[in-house]
Amino acid sequence: MPTSPSSLRAGPGPSPVAGLTPDALEAAARRLLPEDVRAYVAAGAGRETTLRANAAAWPRLPLRPRALAATGTVSTAVTVLGTPLATPVLVAPTASHALLSPEAEPGTARGAAAAGSLFVLSTRSSTPLEEVAAAAGPWWFQVYVLRDRGLTRELAARAAAAGAGALVLTADTPVLGRRDAGPRPRLLPPGRGPLAVLGRDADRDATLLEQDPLAGWADVAGLAAASGLPVVVKGVLRADDAHRAGEAGAAAVVVSNHGGRQLDGAVDTATALPEVAAAVGTDLEVYVDGGLRRGTDVLRALGLGARAVLLGRPVQWALAVGGGDGVRDLLTGVTDELAAALQLAGCPDAAAVPRDLVGAGALPGGAADRSDTDGEERT
């Protein structure tokens, strides 16, 4: 039988998330959340072309399973930057979890740990990072290069001291993308504002808390020096940028277009992933986010060269519906789907999915045909 992290479930039993499809999960969350929060989570930039393309791209890639492959058992276990995990399905950094559940980021962290996964905590966390770290299993800290470089260094050092395993530098946000819908909700709970991650209210010029548009590749080494941690560059969509990340000292890259929330019209991540993976070879680890929803999507990503994937909006919806247990059950469910897909594909090991498992040329237009972008899912 396929192996899975199901035995890692904690708590009294399944949450309301258990058994829900991604569509049903999102619909359930939307019924529970205020309109401004729903819109904030779901929104993409501009016409939302990239948001839709992300979700539409993965199912269009046909799988080429092997017959009679004797896969009586399979493993979903992987390692990321040397950390062993039960699943390659990780939690992407997203902001302000207190908007979604009273459990906030600690609930998300507990759910990820119970699923044998890894949690990436956002700089825009609504909970102090030390409090999140106390609830977490393996975790990384997402960081921006802020206009206030001293604060950037403080964040990096605090994360390292709290036990983060890596820094994830978001590199695609010199300024915020223009979103026609879903502005950031204005009413955050007390103490959950711009510097909640450090356990204090904003006590400096708010403009200094913005991302610095002058951030460059030299900042990768600066963050590594400030923290002593490996740096993962998130937001890489091109082979030449993947090369630059390696030259700058990055340990890994995330193929990401920020969930379609930054430059509308940017390439979808399923299309960008093979180029980036081929460019870095074995020099850097490669992860991907954007539009992944089912275990078969994860299988496709692994076959295209990713070591792991990150889920953003589905985790937010799961937290809203079921708290930390909901996050656990979402991640466990996707991982269980991956285990079944691995067995059906004749591939025994999520850490060694062959590149020839995904055959883009089998559909008219191949992977480059993106004319139908009315994907049923959000990123």
Q: Is residue 14 part of a domain?
A: yes
Q: Which residue has the tokens 């001291």?
A: 161
Q: Number of folded domains in the chain? A: 1
pLDDT at 20: 93
Confirm whether 258 is a catalytic residue: yes
Smallest CA-to-CA distance from 209 within 220, 222, 194 is with 194
Q: Is residue 22 part of a domain?
A: yes
pLDDT at 177: 78
Q: Which residues of the chain have pLDDT under 70?
A: 1-12, 181-194, 200-208, 360-379
pLDDT at 378: 39
Calpha distance 18→378 (Å, rounded): 19
DSSP string across 165-212: S-EEEE-S-SSPPP-SS-PPPS-PPTT-STTGGGTS---S-GGGGSBP
Residue ranges of alpha helices (H) inside 115-168 are 129-135, 149-162
Q: How many CA atoms lie within 13 A of 16 on its CB side?
A: 14
pLDDT at 175: 78
Calpha distance 35→42 (Å, rounded): 11
Q: Is residue 205 part of a domain?
A: no
Q: Catalytic one among 110, 258, 307, 378?
A: 258
DSSP string across 62-88: -B-PPSS---SS-B--EEETTEEES-S
Q: What is the dihedral of CA 297, 302, 303, 305, to 10 degrees?
A: 130
pLDDT at 372: 34
Q: What is the pLDDT of residues 273-312, one digit of tens each?
A: 999 999 999 999 999 999 999 999 999 999 999 999 999 9
- pTM score of the predicted model: 0.89
Q: Is residue 194 part of a domain?
A: no
For residue 351, give the CATH number of its domain: 3.20.20.70
Domain extent at residue 261: 5-184+219-360
pLDDT at 361: 45
Q: Is residue 308 part of a domain?
A: yes
Q: Is residue 209 part of a domain?
A: no
Q: Is residue 160 part of a domain?
A: yes
Q: Is residue 372 part of a domain?
A: no
